[in-house]
Amino acid sequence: MESLVRGGTRWRRFAVVMVPSVAATAAIGVALAQGALAASFSVSGQQFKVTAETLDGHGFEQYGALDVPSGKGPVPVAVSAFTDATITGLCQSVVIPTPIGDVTLKLKAGNNGKKVKATNLYIDLDQLDANATFYGINIGVAAGSSTKGPGIDNKKTTDPGSFAQEADRAYLTNVQQTAWGTSAGTFKLSGLSLRLHMGSGKDVECY
Contact (Cβ atoms closer than 8 angstroms) between residue 181 and residue 80: no
Strand partners, 88: 54
Q: At 74, is the pLDDT very low, low, confident or very high (cuts 50, 70, 90)? A: confident
The domain containing residue 83 runs over which residues? 2-198
Domain count, the chain: 1
Q: Which amino acid is at 61?
A: E
Beta-carbon-side half-sphere exposure of residue 74 (alpha carbons within 13 Å): 10
What is the pairing mode between strands 116-135 and 75-88? antiparallel
* Strand pairing category for 101-109 and 90-98: antiparallel
Handedness of CA 68, 81, 171, 76 (dihedral sign): negative
157 occurs within a structural domain: yes
Phi, psi of 28 (to 5 degrees): -65, -40
- Residues 164 and 179: their CA atoms lie apart, in Å, by 19
| Among candidate residues 207, 6, 202, the one with its CA nearest the CA of residue 100 | 6
| 81-125: pLDDT as tens digits | 999 999 999 999 999 888 889 999 999 999 999 999 999 999 999
pLDDT in tens, 1-30: 433 344 444 545 444 444 444 444 444 444
Give domain status of residue 91, yes or no: yes
Q: Is residue 206 part of a domain?
A: no
Decide if 52 is inside a domain. yes
- For the ranges 42-46, 70-74, 84-88, 189-193, the maximum mean pLDDT occurs at 84-88
207 part of a folded domain: no
pTM (2 d.p.):
0.79
Tens-place pLDDT, residues 113-150? 999 999 999 999 999 999 999 999 999 999 989 899 99
For 143-181, what is each residue's pLDDT tens digit? 989 899 999 988 888 888 889 999 999 999 999 999 998
State how far the Cα of 116 lies from the Cα of 54, in Å rounded to an integer: 10
Spatial distance between the Cα atoms of 15 and 24, rounded to a whole number of angstroms: 14
Structure confidence by residue, pLDDT tens digits, 28-46: 444 545 544 456 655 556 8
